[in-house]
Structure 1
């Protein structure tokens, strides 16, 4: 796993082979961040990374200058891996929450400029996530929500839909 740009550009982290989660590919990550840059300046932004997995997106957000990133991951081993990565970077710009993303959404009262969610593609509640996130009022005015999902899902009819991007088998839907 590699940080693509920013203050930690080029830093690599070896993901244990035992992990179920895989980071968003470098190709897909680089391209979606190029798209995001056209809509939002991440420098000084508050960001939320739901279903953080390996922490790849959280680390990228920190590197790109987010003031604070809240990273939510339920799996104990994955959360420990993210914590180790943050220690190696010697940063306190990330608040790691080891817990269920759905429970976090129910209790969250903070607003974020940028929200990223990459749930397991097989998650049965996956189609409900955009409404859960956008219905909570946690996306700040002018903020962007990026949702990573499998190709079988189409959110283009959603009232807050912005655009859809596909990079190989990785699909992103952007909401405002």
Structure 2
């Protein structure tokens, strides 16, 4: 994986092969950030990256100037890798080792963007639970968005607060506001 833009543009990051992850592809990530750049001034944003995995999305926000980034993952090795890499890159990423659903239940967080990249084999009920918890706990600032990355075989358009989805290869980003 590589950082597409910002202070570390072109920087390649190699995650240990033992991590149980599927990083967002560079093509999909570039498309996502092209969309976000049309709506937001990234350095002013507060970000929560759920199911953070390698930290791929968190690094991209950090390299583009975001200074309030929280990366949440249940896997100890993923959290350790993100903490180490963000320190090497001098990116302001706070790491939290937690089950995402427990985090969403208890975290007193408000963010501009909450990005979730759960496993592609997630059940529909779990996708619905993410949106339910984010909106029930009023976790988004005004004009904020929840973005869920998922497989092209999953349709989240029936969930409450759905705005639109964009497909890039086998990945889809669904936007909720």
Work out whether the TM-score is over 0.5: yes
1:1-176 correspondence to structure 2 within 5 Å? 1-91=1-91, 93-124=92-123, 125-176=126-177
Secondary structure, aligned partner of 1:10: coil
The answer to whether the 8 Å contact 1:49/1:115 transfers is yes
CA distance in 1, matches of 2:132, 2:38: 24
Seen in structure 2, the aligned counterparts of structure 1 residues 39 and 64 have a Cα distance that, compared at 3 Å, is same
Secondary structure, aligned partner of 1:43: helix
**Unmatched runs of 5 consecutive residues or more in structure 2:** none
The answer to whether the 8 Å contact 2:83/2:93 transfers is no
TM-score norm. by structure 1 comes to 0.93
TM-score norm. by structure 2 comes to 0.93
CA distance in 2, matches of 1:38, 1:169: 23
CA distance in 2, matches of 1:131, 1:100: 16
Seen in structure 2, the aligned counterparts of structure 1 residues 159 and 127 have a Cα distance that, compared at 3 Å, is closer
CA distance in 1, matches of 2:154, 2:13: 31
The answer to whether the 8 Å contact 1:40/1:144 transfers is no
16-25 or 68-77, which deviates more: 16-25
- Spell out, residue by residue over 1:98-156, the C-alpha distance to the aligned partner (whole angstroms, 9 max, x if none): 11111110111121011100011223323322222222200110112111112232222
Cα RMSD for the two superposed structures: 1.3
